[in-house]
Structure 1
Amino acid sequence: MGRGIQGDAGGILSLLGYLEDEEEEAEAIQADLLPMGRSLDFLGTANLSWWDLKCCLKHPHPNGALSRLRNPDHHWDLHAQLLAGIFDGVQGGNWQRGGDPKAKRPEQLPRPGVKPSGENRKSTTALPIDQLRARLRMDERLPT
């Protein structure tokens, strides 16, 4: 597996430390191994080599327990994002064709990691003209 860098445990010792420190992730790894007929109990044997474990950690199955633990929004892949966009477009088109001037515009389907449009904007206040002129004069004095 290799040696550690600058005194850190490398290879097998690093994997052992990881499994001991990250109990929730170790449970997720176990859950991913069980359907394959493997278990962390077999670690270090022909049934589950250290290399196998390293590969499982480095490249987890996209729908596996470890992937879901590391990325709770894993189900929002490109297809789900595109479907949400289509859904929003259909809702918007129906709202426009409805013809009711008092009807509230439909809200977008919430997406993980995306704030509603009102939260993305910074609150701004107008700068008084005298302060603006003072700032512009300061900019003119700066060397270019």
Structure 2
Amino acid sequence: MGDDDLSWRQLDIFIGGCQLDSSTALYKVMNPDHRWDLSEQLLAHVADTLAAGNWQRAGKKSAPKPKPIKRPGVSSEETTTLGTTVMSVAEADEWLSGDAQIITPTAANEI
């Protein structure tokens, strides 16, 4: 390293090239979603649309709505709601400053 056989610049160029070539192990490690290129994304979209259309045309209200194919890097739309009240600006400022007391859902039921 850093000698006449392989300079630091040559190593930098080599590693940069490995990051761009999708067939290298370095690319695959740095891009865990590498298998989901445009073709796979479009195919998953087609499958989701077809499933939704079939569900809609079936007309059965008791049938569960089809879930889309899970895609890497996309979080689910399910969220957790803590509490049912609106937070005031002062409470939000206190919470964002880190000075607020954190109430867990189980502790909130005990209050």
Give the superposition deviation at 1:123: 5.0
Question: Which among 18, 23, 27 is matched to residue 67 of structure 1?
Answer: 27
- Counterparts of residues 116-127 of structure 1 (less than 5 Å): 116-119=76-79, 125-127=84-86
Which contiguous aligned blocks of 4+ residues in structure 1 show a shift greater than 3 angstroms? 49-53, 121-124
Quote the RMSD (CA, aligned, Å): 3.2
Question: TM-score, normalising length from structure 2?
Answer: 0.61
Question: TM-score, normalising length from structure 1?
Answer: 0.49
Q: Unaligned regions of 5+ residues in structure 2, if any?
A: 90-111
Structure ranking higher in helix proportion: 1
2:106: which partner in 1? none
2:94: which partner in 1? none
Distance across 2 between alignment mates of 1:82 and 1:122: 32
| Greater radius of gyration (CA) | 1
User: Which amino acid in the other structure matches residue 118 of structure 1?
Assistant: E
Partner of 2:2, secondary structure, is helix
User: Which amino acid in the other structure matches residue 64 of structure 1?
Assistant: T
Q: How many residues get paired?
A: 88
2:102: which partner in 1? none
2:13: which partner in 1? 55
Cα offsets for 1:95-138 (capped at 9, x unmatched): 1111211000011100111111113x76562339xx69xxxxxx
1:89: which partner in 2? 49
1:104: which partner in 2? 64
Partner of 1:104, secondary structure, is coil
